[in-house]
Structure 1
Amino acid sequence: MTDLLQLMVESRQLSASDAEWLAKQHGDGAEGSFDSEPEILRWLAQEYAVSYSDLEQVEVEKEVLSLFPARLLLKEELLPLQRSNGSVDIATSRLFATQGLDTLKSLTGLKLNPVLAPSEAIQREIKKRLGVGADTIDTLKDDASFQVVHDELSVDTDLENAAEDASIIRFVNQVLSDAIDLRATDIHLEPFENELQIRYRIDGVLQDVPVPSEIKRFQP
């Protein structure tokens, strides 16, 4: 069994029996060597009669995306796409890891249709649609102890307390980690009246970074 097949079994993208069959096909030199994740996912989609998408042309409906908690989508690598015949199509690369889908079903009461897609494409689109630090903002949104500061006289004290809050620190760490991954040399934070704009300088050019729209709820 190839390293790729073994990795996909461990991440529950493939069943052991499917991996063994694919390994045999690969070893026999059969047409279609299944050397990449997209090739294997396309085969799985045909084998189990589910849809496949490379997510290059797919439309993601914002209204549908807002129905699901960001932290769960990030954790389980699930991307809601659009409504279809009373249900919601959700991109996943892990057909056999059903816990995430089951949790979303329980939370929303919606019928969910898995659409197989490459994991890298799902991660890219989730980040693009939700923005950096989306899971932390989602947690803060539900945190009753977090209050927005309106009293100017207490700003300094309250900011010191907020800096100690693990959620705030985590959000900043996510911004820093994201900038390092993208090899950014500068991070520009620009607070406006109704939004926070984050930009990274990459290869000498400032580039906008998606920011969760909910972050404006925590501005004074």
Structure 2
Amino acid sequence: MERPSRKLQRVPMATRPIRLGRSLVEAGRLEERHLRVALDEQHGSGRRLGEILIHRGFVDDKTIARSLAAQLKLPFDEGPLITESVALGLVEGDLARARSILPLSATPRTLRLAVSDPLDQDTLEELRLSTGRHIDPVVATPSTIAEGIRAAYEGELAELVKNLPVCHTDSEDERTLRAAASAAPVVRLVDHILQHAAALGASDIHLEPFASHVLVRYRVDSVLRRS
């Protein structure tokens, strides 16, 4: 198989996008006054404009994703995302959660990849080099990708839970409990929860312990969502 050159190359996009905020205003999706508020906040915080618009409730994540896809002439997938095992084998679950991406399908030469940020050229280039395939991006919302990741890699989470150490708080001393909390399966499970929260764009994580299980919920756009 002919592998892409290791020389750094940007994954080509169809066109250079016009300014996101202006395109949303011209499409009637965003009010001019809301754009000015978001731009002022962006200048002070350095955050991405789309993130600010969603956080303030001026537009939803689907509107942002559709606009970016249209500007870049990329396909948009509103979900649910369908994956193939061959593609999943090319990208580890931890990386998918951390970068908010999901491999959908693959050929010997290409990898079709759902992305929440199609302008993240560093991630696209990293995957081009690591997989030896050209990347075909498909735009989806962060929440759609997070749901797809959960469905595609759910066996991985089950394995993490199965390997957790068993402790009885009424009989174990503090040293034993600390050692159990530092065990590799516990660390990996915590990493999994944090990476999933990042992929969702969650502002906080709620852990609710019950007798036989723990309920994990994530606050996204001021709404608690069950894991």
Tell me the TM-score range normalised by the shorter chain: 0.5 to 0.7
Contact 1:133 1:171 in 2 (8 A): no
Over residues 6-59 of structure 1, what are the superposed CA-to-partner deviations in whole Å (9 max), with x where a residue is unaligned?
Answer: xxxxxxxxx782223324553369xxxx83221232232222111110122x42
Distance 1:162 1:45 in 2: 48
TM-score between both structures, scaled by the size of structure 2: 0.52
Q: Which residue of 2 aligns with 1:168?
A: 185
Over residues 60-113 of structure 1, what are the superposed CA-to-partner deviations in whole Å (9 max), with x where a residue is unaligned?
Answer: 112210121222111111100112684121101101112122111111111111
Contact 1:53 1:116 in 2 (8 A): yes
Q: Which residue of 1 aligns with 2:84?
A: 61
- Residues 1:23 and 1:187: Cα distance change in structure 2 (over 3 Å): farther
**Local SS of the residue matching 2:136:** strand
Paired amino acid for 1:73: A
Shift of 1:131: 2.9
Q: Which residue of 2 aligns with 1:43?
A: 67
Contact 2:208 2:216 in 1 (8 A): yes
RMSD value over aligned CA atoms? 4.2
Instruction: Give structure 1 stretches of 5+ with no counterpart.
Output: 1-14, 138-158, 190-198, 203-209, 211-220
**Local SS of the residue matching 2:19:** helix
Over residues 182-214 of structure 1, what are the superposed CA-to-partner deviations in whole Å (9 max), with x where a residue is unaligned?
Answer: 76553758xxxxxxxxx9699xxxxxxx9xxxx
Query: Matched residues, percent identical?
Result: 18
Aligned residues: 154
- Residues 1:28 and 1:93: Cα distance change in structure 2 (over 3 Å): same
The range that moved more, 47-56 or 166-175, is 166-175
- Residues 1:83 and 1:175: Cα distance change in structure 2 (over 3 Å): closer
TM-score between both structures, scaled by the size of structure 1: 0.53
Paired amino acid for 1:111: H
- Residues 1:70 and 1:18: Cα distance change in structure 2 (over 3 Å): same
Distance 2:86 2:67 in 1: 31
Paired amino acid for 2:87: V
Distance 2:136 2:63 in 1: 21
